[in-house]
A and B are shown apart, each in its own frame.
Chain A
Amino acid sequence: MSALMDLQDIRTYFYVSKGFFKSLTVKAVDGVSLTIHRRETVAIVGESGSGKTTLGRTALKLIQPFSGRIIFEGKDITNLKGNMKWFRKKAQMIFQDPFTSLNPYMTVRQIVEEPMIIHGYDVEERNEKVLKALSDVRLVPPEEFLPKYPHMLSGGQRQRVGIARTLVLDPIFLVADEPVSMIDASSRAEILYLLGEIQKKYGMGIMYITHDIATAKYFSDNIAVMYLGKIVEYGETRSVLKEPFHPYTKALIEAVPDPDPSNRFRFRRVIPGEPPSPINPPLGCRFHPRCPYATEVCKRKEPPLVEVQGHRVACHRAEEIAGQPLTTK
């Protein structure tokens, strides 16, 4: 099966001007390749500054990459300019914050209907699709929600309006950027199950961007762990979380507590320091200054993303340290 979205060696750089003559390059995404098929969810996890959101926006061509190719349904759209409506219709985004991403002066009907006005649907079709989209996201009965304004809805309901707005165009590719991080813990699973159902119904490929590795476990098929603009580990989600090979993946998993009262009697194994600036990433492996396993070669040579027991891992010592718990220096 050919990929729905095929990102090839994407590099997305930003330029920060420092005075008249100087400008710095922020390499937000620096050589990422990733494919997403229809009916597949790929989670992109990483901490702030890892480039996960930039990658999502680049895939939707909201940001032009510096180099690399974006292939959508077999068609190279990297340098496509002008009329992109056909692509915009098929590829949609769900935003993080349902409190600021909906216009407070528009009713639910207007918000959900707007994309169809832009894409030239006629009135009857619009009315029908608004109702269908609202029932697809379980805002039922839909007639009751049509005249409401966003402030009359709870966080979970608002996020469902945000999802309904994307559905009316029958998209096949969805970028969900932290869709539940602003939603209360008790409603998160509800929104994520809903996304899963809608995915089946519409046959969508989803790029699920999150910092929350625990939700990624339940709501993705494959997972890509990013650190400073690069994928450090990629593989089948359950397998990566059960047996991570990259020291950074190990550290991320180790850092997340499950509710267990015995947690308080032990210290968590942590990696020291914080991610460095993407303006001036460390030479060699970008993780080496914080890595408990780093050796001389890690300081000099950037590790390629290679196959290790079914995962793709960018670490010189991946095979050696496989199966070992995280050590702290």
Chain B
Amino acid sequence: MSFLEAENLILYYKTLRGPVRAVDNVGFTLNRGETLGLVGESGCGKSSTAIALMRLLPRNVERFEGKVILDGLNLMDLSDEEFRGKVRWKRISMVFQGAMNSLNPVLRVGFQVAEPLMIHKGMKKREAMKRAEDLFKMVGLPPDFAYRYPHELSGGMKQRVVIAMALVLNPEIVILDEPTSALDVSIQAQIMNLLKKLKKKLNISMIFITHDIALASDICDRIGVMYAGQIVELGSSEDVLLNPKHPYTQKLIASVPLLRGDRVPEFIPGAPPDLVNPPAGCRFRPRCSHAFGRCGLEPPFIELEEGRFVKCWLYGGED
């Protein structure tokens, strides 16, 4: 059994036009020390999957159900209070998209990293700041930077601070939601090197969310490709990147302009569907060049071989 298992995860938002099916029957597994990438275009439900796992839901939730099993414990059975006390940040933490711009400008950054230690572990401030200094060292910042304010740090440094913040309670899983999207490429490369180092050193599991499949290849052991609220392909990075099965994955990879190599980038005509009213059956059908009769029905999530899944009628399955 895997360390984390999500099954039939559903998260719909209530809107005036009807429910938005942001996460629609998503399932995946995550092993200890492994990094799973969730890759997809804007609005495909990657960030919604993350907030469903963290149970940081907005007010307009229409439907939230499924199973999330962490080390044998079904997190969905916990009350909000239990989840907050036992799981969030202690076992699963998260680096939010653009978090570096959400640091409190009037508090020293070290204090913001240390705060969970005082609240969750009852540490004294001095002891907690000491631990924050150690964490600063670990993420490649001089320890005395813990006593600075956010405006005294550059973008890359602030990103290191929010990574330290996610690690402060020694979580087993860290969710990283576009951790480098606000940074320049040379800083992005520095942060990716840091994440690789932490992954090796701490043996933590990570869920790495990004729209950039090339960036996902920089750290992920396995990749799940999302389209219109669903995972359409899941497998090892080697399988998904070198031998993609789902027509969407194939086209998505073909649309990446390569810096090394001469393949001319392609594009997928059309746009992703509206998640209030997604097409019946396969959601990629209207843009898919392989679509045939059966695609009007919802395709099953077929396991081609162990741990390798594809949601497409081209690979068999019963009507």
Q: What is A's interface to B at a CB cutoff of 8 Å?
A: 47-48, 154-157, 184-190, 193, 211-215, 217-218, 241, 251-261, 263-264, 267-268, 270-272, 274-275
Interface assignment of B218: CB less than 8 Å from any CB of chain A: yes
A261 contacts across to B, CB distance below 8 A: 217, 236-238, 241-242
Residues of B in contact with A, size category: 35 or more
Judge whether A258 and B186 touch: CB under 8 Å.
no
Q: How far is the CB of A123 from chain B (nearest CB, A)?
A: 33
Q: Which of B42, B188, B190, B269 contacts A190 (CB 8 A)?
A: B269
A217 contacts across to B, CB distance below 8 A: 257, 259
Provide the bound-state CA to CA distance between A59 and B227, in Å: 41
A154 contacts across to B, CB distance below 8 A: 271
| Chain B residue nearest in CB terms to A193 | B267
Provide the bound-state CA to CA distance between A272 and B190, in Å: 8
A260 contacts across to B, CB distance below 8 A: 214, 217, 241
B272 contacts across to A, CB distance below 8 A: 184
B188 contacts across to A, CB distance below 8 A: 255
Interface assignment of B291: CB less than 8 Å from any CB of chain A: no
Q: Which of B156, B186, B236, B261 contacts A255 (CB 8 A)?
A: B186
Judge whether B271 and A155 touch: CB under 8 Å.
yes
Inter-chain pairs besides A218-B264, A263-B218, A274-B184, 15 sampled, C-beta below 8 Å: A155-B42, A185-B211, A185-B256, A186-B267, A187-B271, A189-B255, A189-B265, A190-B269, A213-B259, A257-B214, A260-B217, A261-B236, A264-B196, A264-B221, A267-B193
B221 contacts across to A, CB distance below 8 A: 264
Contact bitstring B208-238, A, C-beta under 8 A = 1, else 0: 0001111111111100000000000000111
Q: How far is the CB of B62 from chain A (nearest CB, A)?
A: 22
Judge whether A214 and B154 touch: CB under 8 Å.
no
Q: What is B's interface to A at a CB cutoff of 8 Å?
A: 35, 41-42, 154-156, 184-190, 192-193, 196-197, 211-221, 236-238, 241-242, 251-253, 255-261, 264-269, 271-272
Judge whether A184 and B41 touch: CB under 8 Å.
yes
Judge whether B186 and A252 touch: CB under 8 Å.
yes
20 contacts between A and B (CB under 8 A): A47-B184, A47-B186, A184-B211, A184-B271, A187-B271, A188-B257, A189-B267, A214-B256, A215-B257, A217-B257, A251-B186, A252-B185, A253-B259, A255-B188, A255-B189, A258-B259, A259-B256, A263-B218, A264-B217, A264-B220
Q: How far is the CB of A245 from chain B (nearest CB, A)?
A: 17
Q: How far is the CB of B35 from chain A (nearest CB, A)?
A: 8
| Chain B residue nearest in CB terms to A184 | B41
| Chain B residue nearest in CB terms to A216 | B257
Judge whether A259 and B257 touch: CB under 8 Å.
no
A270 contacts across to B, CB distance below 8 A: 186, 189-190, 193
| Chain A residue nearest in CB terms to B253 | A259
- Mostly, the A contact residues are helix
B242 contacts across to A, CB distance below 8 A: 261
Q: How far is the CB of A87 from chain B (nearest CB, A)?
A: 33
Of listed A157, A187, A188, residue having the most chain B CB within 10 A: A187
| Chain A residue nearest in CB terms to B220 | A264
Judge whether A186 and B268 touch: CB under 8 Å.
yes
Q: Which of B155, B237, B259, B267 contacts A256 (CB 8 A)?
A: B259
Judge whether B257 and A214 touch: CB under 8 Å.
yes
B261 contacts across to A, CB distance below 8 A: 258
A253 contacts across to B, CB distance below 8 A: 259
Q: How far is the CB of B154 from chain A (nearest CB, A)?
A: 5
B211 contacts across to A, CB distance below 8 A: 184-185
| Chain B residue nearest in CB terms to A274 | B154
Judge whether A258 and B256 touch: CB under 8 Å.
yes
Judge whether B187 and A157 touch: CB under 8 Å.
no
Provide the bound-state CA to CA distance between A306 and B187, in Å: 28
B267 contacts across to A, CB distance below 8 A: 186-190, 193
A251 contacts across to B, CB distance below 8 A: 186
Provide the bound-state CA to CA distance between A98 and B255, in Å: 21
Judge whether A258 and B260 touch: CB under 8 Å.
yes
Q: How far is the CB of B103 from chain A (nearest CB, A)?
A: 17
A186 contacts across to B, CB distance below 8 A: 41, 251-252, 255, 267-268
Of listed A189, A217, A253, residue having the most chain B CB within 10 A: A189
Q: How far is the CB of B210 from chain A (nearest CB, A)?
A: 10
A214-B156 contact given A190-B267, A261-B237, A271-B186, CB 8 Å threshold: no
A189 contacts across to B, CB distance below 8 A: 255, 257, 265-267
Q: How far is the CB of A151 from chain B (nearest CB, A)?
A: 12
Q: How far is the CB of B129 from chain A (nearest CB, A)?
A: 26
| Chain A residue nearest in CB terms to B190 | A270
Provide the bound-state CA to CA distance between A272 and B156, in Å: 11
Provide the bound-state CA to CA distance between A133 and B41, in Å: 28
A190 contacts across to B, CB distance below 8 A: 267, 269
B251 contacts across to A, CB distance below 8 A: 186
Q: Which of A188, A254, A267, A274 contacts B187 (CB 8 A)?
A: A274
| Chain B residue nearest in CB terms to A45 | B185
Which 3 residue pairs of A and B lie closest in terms of their CB atoms, listed nearest first? A154-B271, A47-B184, A255-B189
Provide the bound-state CA to CA distance between A275 and B252, in Å: 32
Q: How far is the CB of B104 from chain A (nearest CB, A)?
A: 22
Judge whether A157 and B271 touch: CB under 8 Å.
yes
B236 contacts across to A, CB distance below 8 A: 261
| Chain A residue nearest in CB terms to B252 | A186
A184 contacts across to B, CB distance below 8 A: 41-42, 211, 271-272
Judge whether A255 and B185 touch: CB under 8 Å.
yes
| Chain A residue nearest in CB terms to B184 | A47
Provide the bound-state CA to CA distance between A114 and B154, in Å: 42
B41 contacts across to A, CB distance below 8 A: 184-186
Q: How far is the CB of A303 from chain B (nearest CB, A)?
A: 20
B154 contacts across to A, CB distance below 8 A: 274
Judge whether A185 and B192 touch: CB under 8 Å.
no
A218 contacts across to B, CB distance below 8 A: 257, 264-265
Q: How far is the CB of A180 from chain B (nearest CB, A)?
A: 10
B264 contacts across to A, CB distance below 8 A: 218
